[in-house]
Amino acid sequence: CLTCFTNTSGHMPCVRVWEVNGVQVAEVQSHKYGVSCVAFSTNSCYIVSVGYQHDMTVSVWDWRKGSIIASNKVSSRVFAVSFSQDNSYFVTAGNRHVRFWYLDASKERRVNSTVPLIGRSGLLGDHRNSVFCGVCCGRGLMASSTYCITSSGLLCLFNSGRQLEAWVNLKTTSASCLAISDDFIFCGCADGVIRVFGPSNLQYITTLHQPHRLGVDLTQSVQHGSLLPASPDAQYPDTLALTFDPTAQHLTCVYNDHSVYVWDVKDVRNVRKLYSALYHSNCVWSVEVYPELSDVSQACLPPSSFFTCSSDNTIRLWHTDPPTGHRNLYSNDLLRILYVGENTQHLQAEGEAAGADGKAGIRVLGISPDGQHLAAGDRCGNLRIFGLEFLDELVKIEAHDLEVLCLDFSPKSTGVKLLASASRDRLIHVFNLEKNFSLEQTLNDHSASITAVKFSGNRSPEVRMVSCGADKSIYFQTAEQTVEGLSFSRSHHVVEKATLYDMDLDSSRTHVAIACQDRNVRVYNLETGKLKKCLKGSSSDEGALLKVQMDPSGTFFATSCSDKNITIFDYETGECVATLFGHSEIITSMRFSQDCRHLITVSGDRSSSNNTKTQPAENINTQHYMFLLNITCKHSHEPSTEQNTPSGVAQSES
């Protein structure tokens, strides 16, 4: 059977093996802090895993039995591992480290227990101080050879005696990875460069196409054209990882802006791109779904469109169903990228963040009910308004002193057009859309970070607003019409015993559901401020409840917990109807699509969770859609999500 692996970090991380249909078939815990690299043996009988620098353990285990057969310590940081073609040994490469581990000799010493792995260091000669960031054992006629790549840009050949026999300069500022076939060595380098060499004598053959340039405008590319020509002034993402499919002759490349390309390399001198996808390169903070409009002709975007924003300083427009006439050369599901600022370093995973505190990026999004405006709050407290007809920036407001945590537009039913922004600076600003987003009022009731703010749906002058925060307070505000305009004043104040992390209104917009730290969802009446009911919000007894989202039909609500799981409950009965998991970091935001068919979640892990499992009840139909930076799950009903994370939750660095 075909299998794949996932590795994790944190306390007692697991190495897991999955079938390609999504069923987990094996799991082992052999490392304490994290797993830096793993590899299958050529015959798929064994898996070798290497721990993080503080763990310093290399283990070989029979994954079908779940037992470790050999283990040892390594004294250097390891970046890569590769099995030989005959499975008799494997090689690890790292910081001043190339070591050959002999599995057959180790197994001979085994007496029904884990035995020490037998290892021998490679003879590095003048390159003993190099950082070896990639390794591949030879194939075919060169099966006895081993190839390594250094971070400084050298491709090295080790012979069967572990001696460094030859090396070649890749003519690049840095290199990071390599993949091998019977006939070629593919070397991943800086600026999206992939050099191709012959395995027998390291003779240079060709250089493959570079990917998209950093800051590419997707609207300038055409679906059936070739890749845009290279520009001498353009910057390209560095090649981060390579893997080669010998059967199909496909080379898959991952770049450090988290984009993925699949190249057809049957003819390396005439390479064709088969597939590509562009994803966020840093923590994804918020997702917003484009509203369903009664007059379709007034819509600025195709149906099923949604936005995400990230610390990479971009806002990205996606779709769940392929629209006609909106294709581009680089992605099947990404329609547009809005770049905030001109610094392309944010687009790379290692890019330096702007600002004295190291924070950068867009933190939260909001879409106006008429579908004409997109509001974006950043991590420095700025508020930007974009027109969705042309996706251009209309207004920039220096609204808050600290990062903006939540945004909300007043619904059409209120008869007014307002935007509320709340921040870690404990202030709520109310802006008037009809006065070019001028400041209408500032509310300073909260004494800590504000985690959520919502407008009710009642008609003016009974316009209501509710907010909650880390101060454990819920403030219900009522607007009154004055000579100077609308003025909000406090009508009710509720204090809970637990921190309040998120909230959402029900479909009638008369009750608010609040996610509490004690893993309960408390539902309050907006008019009276009275508690209506308290529902269990998590299937586990550990962690805190971070997100809650009602589906548009009002039938279900979805929650996410600090254990990184997502649970869907029946709103009336509180019964759990589905549990989903797959993100490796906390869920920062989630939204149901307007047609109640998709639940879109985003996280600090910035990567797709191909190990997502769903445990649905019989009345919910689930499928999985994987994006590099989010997971979309189909349901027979759906809600929508808002982006607020608790005070103190840091951006993932995984």
Task: List pLDDT tens digits, range 432-490.
Answer: 999 999 999 999 999 999 999 999 876 655 789 999 999 999 999 999 888 877 899 99
Evaluate if residue 618 carries a pLDDT over 60: no
Region 595-615 average pLDDT:
65
pLDDT of residue 342: 78
pLDDT tens for residues 245-301?
Answer: 999 999 999 999 999 999 999 999 999 999 999 999 889 999 999 999 989 899 999
The whole-chain average pLDDT of the chain stands at 84
**What backbone torsions phi and psi does residue 624 show, to the nearest 5 degrees?**
-120, 135
Q: Do domains 1-121 and 138-218+235-278 have the same CATH topology?
A: yes
Query: For residue 359, what are the CA distances in angstroms to 61, 259, 422, 427, 442?
Result: 41, 23, 18, 20, 25
Q: How confident is the model at residue 194 (pLDDT cuts 50, 70, 90)?
A: very high
- 377, 363 contact by CB (below 8 A): yes
pLDDT of residue 536: 92
Query: What's this model's pTM, rounded to 2 decimal places?
Result: 0.85
With the CA atoms of 291, 292, 293 and 294 taken in that order, what torsion angle do they form, in degrees rounded to the nearest 10?
-150
> Measuring CA to CA, which residue among 236, 134, 227 is closest to residue 187?
134
Q: CA gyration radius for the chain?
A: 27
pLDDT tens for residues 379-428?
Answer: 999 999 999 999 999 999 999 999 999 999 999 988 899 999 999 999 99
Q: How confident is the model at residue 374 (pLDDT cuts 50, 70, 90)?
A: very high
- Cα gap 443→488, rounded to integer Å: 8
DSSP per-residue letters across 547-571: EEEE-TTSSEEEEEETTSEEEEEET
pLDDT of residue 315: 96
In the chain, where are the structural domains located?
Answer: 1-121, 138-218+235-278
Is domain 138-218+235-278 given the CATH code 2.130.10.10 in the classification? yes
DSSP 87: S
pLDDT of residue 99: 95
DSSP 54: T
- Cα gap 80→92, rounded to integer Å: 6
Evaluate if residue 338 carries a pLDDT over 80: yes
Is domain 1-121 given the CATH code 2.130.10.10 in the classification? yes
3 state DSSP class of 116: strand
Query: Could you give the percent of the chain with pLDDT greater than 70?
Result: 85
Region 506-523 average pLDDT:
94
DSSP per-residue letters across 454-513: EE--PPTTS-EEEEEETTSEEEEEEEEEETTEEEEEEEEEEE-SS-EEEEEE-TTSSEEE
Region 603-617 average pLDDT:
48
pLDDT of residue 323: 59
Q: Beta-carbon neighbour count of residue 116 at 10 Å?
A: 11
3 state DSSP class of 321: coil
Q: Read off the tokens for 332.
A: 């099947």
- Tell me if the bond preceding 461 is cis, omega within 30° of 0: yes
Place of tokens 């989630």: 590
Lowest-pLDDT range, 515-524, 590-599, 642-651? Answer: 642-651
Region 61-76 average pLDDT:
86
Evaluate if residue 35 carries a pLDDT over 70: yes
Evaluate if residue 144 carries a pLDDT over 80: yes
Residue 264 is which amino acid? Answer: D
pLDDT of residue 324: 64
Region 318-325 average pLDDT:
74
pLDDT of residue 192: 95
Q: How confident is the model at residue 505 (pLDDT cuts 50, 70, 90)?
A: very high
Q: Strands across the sheet with 373-378, in order?
A: 362-367, 373-378, 382-387, 392-398
- 140, 146 contact by CB (below 8 A): no
pLDDT of residue 358: 56
pLDDT of residue 620: 33
Q: Beta-carbon neighbour count of residue 258 at 10 Å?
A: 24
Evaluate if residue 542 carries a pLDDT over 90: no
pLDDT of residue 12: 61
Q: How confident is the model at residue 70 (pLDDT cuts 50, 70, 90)?
A: confident
Strands 260-264 and 272-277: antiparallel
Evaluate if residue 375 carries a pLDDT over 80: yes
Evaluate if residue 7 carries a pLDDT over 80: no
158 vs 228, residue with greater confidence:
158
